[in-house]
Structures are given as structure tokens and as C-alpha cells.
Amino acid sequence: MIISILGIRGILLNRRNIPIMSMPIESMLLAVNSNFLVFSVSLDDMMGQLFALLVLTVAAAESAIGSAIFVNTFRVRGTIAVESINCIQG
């Protein structure tokens, strides 16, 4: 619960840099994983561990795609500051 609150606080307070904004999202996914694992062990059920594995897979894919977007944005615009990126157009 504490990690989730810190993640929400991190998103709300750090709105200057896109990679720094994505770090609290990863910590919130870590909190979800730890909840799944703790309840899976306490309830003696394997489904929580399978969901944790699924969340880890989604987090890895999200991290890879996000990093690619950051690199592409930096190459095109020269900065990844949120204030300078007002709209993303295709």
C-alpha cells in the first residue's frame, strides 16, 4: 500500500521529465506484484503468482516501448521535457 501511495505521489509531483514520470508507474506495478504474491502465498493459491508473472511481462513490454518512444522523441525534438511537448502528432 505504501509503495502505491508513493507511486501516485511521484506521478503528481514529477511532471517535468517523461522518464522520471514513468518510474513511479513501475513502482506501482511492483506494488501490485508484491500484493499478488503475498496473497497468493497466504491463500495457498497459484493464480496470484501467475498474475504476477503476467504483470511482469506487461511491465517489461511497457518499459521497452516507452524507452523507444523516449529515444525517438529526443531525436526528433531534442528534449524530453513535458513542457516543450504540447501535442504528439503522427
Beta-carbon contacts of residue 39 (< 8 Å; ≥ 6 apart): 48
At residue 59, the pLDDT reads: 86
- Dmax over CA atoms of the chain, in Å, equals 51
- What percentage of the chain exceeds 70 in pLDDT? 91
pLDDT exceeds cutoff 80 at 5: yes
All domains in the chain, ordered by first residue? 1-84 (1.10.287.3510)
pLDDT confidence tier of residue 85, bands split at 50, 70 and 90: low
At residue 38, the pLDDT reads: 92
Beta-carbon contacts of residue 20 (< 8 Å; ≥ 6 apart): 14
At residue 89, the pLDDT reads: 59
Torsion angle of the four alpha carbons 29, 9, 79, 73, in this order, in degrees rounded to the nearest 10: 30
pLDDT confidence tier of residue 14, bands split at 50, 70 and 90: confident
Encode 7-44: b = buried (16+ Cβ within 10 Å), e = exposed: beebbeebeeebeebbebbeebbbbbbebbeeebeeee
21-48 residue pLDDT tens: 888 888 888 888 898 899 999 998 899 8
